[in-house]
Amino acid sequence: MNFKFAITNNLKSEIKKMTNFLNTFRGRLLIILALLLMATIGVQFYLNFITERENAKIRAKQEQALVAGIALGVTSLTSSDRLQEFVKREGQSFFDAKSTQRIEDIIVVNPQWQVHDTLSGTNLPTKDENGNDKYVELNDIKNLPPLMESSRLGKDAAKFPNSNKISDEETNSEAHAIPIETGENSEQGRYYIMVILKNDQEQTVLRAAKPLIYTLLVLLLSSVVTFALVWRFTRPIADLSNAARQVAKGDLSVRVKVAKRSDEIEELARQFNEMTAELEKNRDIEAQLQEAEKSAVVGRLGSAIAHEIRNPLNYINLTLDHLRAKFAPEDETKRADFDKLTSQLKNEVARINRQISDFLSYSRPASANLQSTNLRTVIEDSLRLVEAQAEDTNIKISVIERENVPNIIGDAEFLRSVFSNLFINATQAMESTGGNLQVTISPENNFVKVEITDTGSGIPEENLSKIFEPYFSTKETGTGLGLAIVKKILDIHNATIEVASNEKEGTKFTVKLPKVK
């Protein structure tokens, strides 16, 4: 009896605990979620069953229309009649009323990626003055709908202008393409039949929305109840989550709104803001320290190079001059070879000196004497450095100055270094092929704009973001400091520089300098 009584008491105790739990917020929320889950699963299963049945019918109709379109396209290849003429024949069974509702157009593409035939009659081949067929290029056809499953076409997919299109609400049709081999050589005899099917976007949206409507009705009642309970607690947490995500991406300026709650959420938000502020301050300090350390290293290196190398270089240069003046061979042939070799040595000495100057120019603090300066004069002085090389390598230089170009605020000596570097880079990019170097000067708002355009080899896209970084160079003998010095000088002038380039087409640098007010 005592044993049974103990079991009964324990059972009553468990039932009471369960009842108490169900009377709590968590228990009621659990009941609501359980009922919601069961109702949602039941309604969703029934609606999905109906939707799948409707979709199967639509897919069957679409497949029938696609097969009919492909059959018509193949017929166009084996018949001398156009598609428009063929579908009007009596007795043909491919293009019936059902196909008419689904097929918008059929385009037959020949191996040269030209339009061979179309059902709509647009873009058909015409005759030129000599009676030859004149075809429309496939790439010239605009407003083609997206090409479905283009990846199955392999490398040929890139030939279709609609292969990368993404279907959206404004597209009421879709394209399907299959290859047709018409000869022994698959590369020369491959035609493509592209069937464009109509797609009733409104009906598609309605079918997709119908299951959601009933599901949302089931969710609505419980959502209203639970939303009020959890909103106060989830909103601050969501803000903190979004802010943490931005910090993870590197944005340390993000801050969260601190609500007056007097609880852990307020304290967490306050500490988060303090943390991000401290991280942002430390990052700025670290960047400044790295830049200062880099400048210090470069400065010490430049000074050491200047001290250890320039004196021997000057001695070598003077010795070469002495050799050319006192020990040149009397034989004219030998004298020519002697002059050529000594000139090459002097050029190499001059190149090393320029590299040393670049190191020193970048490492030393710059103090510009900013004053009213005529930009045209500065540019013409800089062009003189490359005129001889341009003439030898068949490079044509032109300077265009628009009307009413004002003076700029700048240091003429520093700006000569800027434009000399840009002109030297441009001529070097064209020295093997020749080309055109055009400089355009024009006013623009509070600036004077200088556009330097060449027709050289261009800059690879992956290098465009790096060209102004110190020590980055694609040349075997370059120091990588030329454009870094350009950027440093323009920063001192509160000026900007932009670059646009296409490989094998050329490069354009755009410099904007503040004008005299």
Residues 398 and 493 in one domain: yes
Residue 147 DSSP label: B
Helix (H) or strand (E) holding 184: none
Q: What are the two backbone dihedrals, phi and then psi, of residue 16, each rounded to the nearest 5 degrees?
A: -65, -40
Beta-bridge partners for 436 = 396
Confirm if 243 and 254 have CB atoms less than 8 A apart: yes
Instruction: Reduce the DSSP state of residue 121 to 3 states and report it.
Output: coil
Assigned domain for 240 exists? no
Residues 322 and 438 in one domain: no
Beta-bridge partners for 442 = 449
Assigned domain for 99 exists? no
Residues 272 and 342 in one domain: yes
* Burial 292-326, CB ≥16 within 10 A → b, else e: eeeeeebbeebeeeeeeeeeeeeeeeeebeeeeee
Confirm if 496 and 450 have CB atoms less than 8 A apart: no
Q: What is the pLDDT of residues 447-463, one digit of tens each?
A: 999 999 999 988 888 88
Averaged pLDDT score across all residues of the chain: 78
Assigned domain for 210 exists? no
Helix (H) or strand (E) holding 32: helix 25-78
Residues 413 and 505 in one domain: yes
Alpha-carbon span 125 to 148, nearest angstrom: 26
Assigned domain for 508 exists? yes
The alpha carbons of the chain give a radius of gyration, in whole angstroms, of: 38
Alpha-carbon span 19 to 490, nearest angstrom: 77
Confirm if 469 and 294 have CB atoms less than 8 A apart: no
Alpha-carbon span 385 to 423, nearest angstrom: 9
Q: What is the pLDDT of residues 486-497, one digit of tens each?
A: 888 888 889 999
Q: What tokens were used for 151? A: 């990846």
State how beta strands 395-401 and 435-444 pair.
parallel
Is a pLDDT exceeding 90 seen at residue 356? no
Number of domains in the chain: 2
Assigned domain for 225 exists? no
Assigned domain for 35 exists? no
Confirm if 489 and 417 have CB atoms less than 8 A apart: yes
CATH number, domain at 508?
A: 3.30.565.10
Q: Of 302, 336, 365, which residue constitutes the final position of a domain?
A: 365
Q: What tokens were used for 270? A: 């306050």
38 burial level (CB within 10 Å; 0-12, 13-18, 19+): exposed
Confirm if 504 and 457 have CB atoms less than 8 A apart: yes
Assigned domain for 7 exists? no
Assigned domain for 39 exists? no
Instruction: Reduce the DSSP state of residue 482 to 3 states and report it.
Output: helix
Residues 360 and 403 in one domain: no
Q: What are the two backbone dihedrals, phi and then psi, of residue 313, each rounded to the nearest 5 degrees?
A: -65, -45
Residues 399 and 293 in one domain: no
Give me the domain span that covers residue 495. 368-514
Residues 373 and 408 in one domain: yes
Alpha-carbon span 188 to 182, nearest angstrom: 9
According to the per-residue pLDDT averaged within each range, which of 37-51, 217-231, 368-382 is highest?
368-382
The pLDDT value recorded for residue 335 is: 80
Residues 317 and 349 in one domain: yes
Least confident of 87-91, 250-254, 302-306, 506-510: 302-306
3-state percent helix, strand, coil for the chain, nearest multiple of 5: 55, 15, 25
Residues 344 and 378 in one domain: no
Q: What is the pLDDT of residues 189-233, one digit of tens each?
A: 788 888 888 876 666 667 667 767 766 776 676 677 667 656 665
Q: What is the pLDDT of residues 413-448, one digit of tens each?
A: 889 888 988 998 899 889 888 899 999 999 998 999
Residues 402 and 264 in one domain: no
Q: In sequence order, which ranges of 79-200 are alpha helices (DSSP H)? A: 83-86, 97-102
Residues 304 and 405 in one domain: no
Alpha-carbon span 376 to 399, nearest angstrom: 9
pTM: 0.39
The pLDDT value recorded for residue 299 is: 63
Q: Of 365, 383, 407, which residue constitutes the final position of a domain?
A: 365
State how beta strands 190-198 and 496-502 pair.
unpaired
Percent of the chain with pLDDT over 90: 12
Q: What tokens were used for 194? A: 């592209």
Percent of the chain with pLDDT over 70: 74
Residues 352 and 320 in one domain: yes
Q: What tokens were used for 2? A: 């005592």
Alpha-carbon span 489 to 410, nearest angstrom: 10
Confirm if 410 and 513 have CB atoms less than 8 A apart: yes
